[in-house]
Amino acid sequence: MTNRELCERYPFLIPSNRWSGMKVTDPQAQKGGFWPGNPEAVLEPYEYDYTELDDMPEGWRRAFGEQMCEEIREELLKTGGEKALEDYRITQIKEKFGALRWYTNWTTDAIEKIIDKYTALSEHICIRCGKLATHISLGWISPYCDDCAAELSKTGYIDFAPIDDAEDAYLILPETEFT
């Protein structure tokens, strides 16, 4: 699916201002007012070169990104119809401690269950390619498959533990002093 098709099907993937909620496609954004610190700033017409889904690590996006969006879309339509679909905003998508983080402007119990399901799944999917993860990196914790872990360990910068020991990865990390 192209970015334009993604945004048409899942309007919550259209980038928006985190504070005002204004989407880059809103007519007002083209006239100014999108950036609170610079109300005269005018956005160029949105070319669909970026969606909020682009912040999801590539492997997870390949493995389940669009399916997750589809499930959220279906739940939004059940919850509040087209208005809910238009009002729902993603505020951030990222990886943290080896798992997906999906933050939004509002949610329901059913949407939280969808997010929780894919957060749990992300811990077992390679963050780079989308295959089943067999290793977890130490330090910056992320799940990797055999192939990606082998490739990255050649650099000498990343150490790995088997995924069975993923819960123990926190215990074997070197102690860090924060100043």
Q: Read out DSSP for 113-152?
A: HHHHHHHHHHTTB-TTT-SBP-EEESSS--EE-HHHHHHH
Query: Angle at CA 150, nearest 5°, toward 148 and 156?
Result: 110
pLDDT of residue 40: 60
Nearest Cα to Cα of residue 136 among 106, 108, 177, 170:
170
User: Higher confidence at residue 33 or residue 161?
Assistant: 161
Q: What percent of the chain is modeled with pLDDT above 90?
A: 68
Average pLDDT over every residue of 50-73: 96
Is pLDDT of 165 > 70?
no
Global confidence as pTM: 0.84
Is pLDDT of 161 > 80?
yes
pLDDT of residue 43: 66
DSSP 107: -
Is pLDDT of 111 > 90?
yes
Q: What does the domain layout of the chain look like in residue ranges?
A: 3-123, 126-168
- Tell me what the pLDDT averaged over the chain comes to: 86
At 45, list the tokens: 């017409």
Q: How confident is the model at residue 38 (pLDDT cuts 50, 70, 90)?
A: low
- Residues 41 and 32: beta-carbon distance below 8 Å: yes
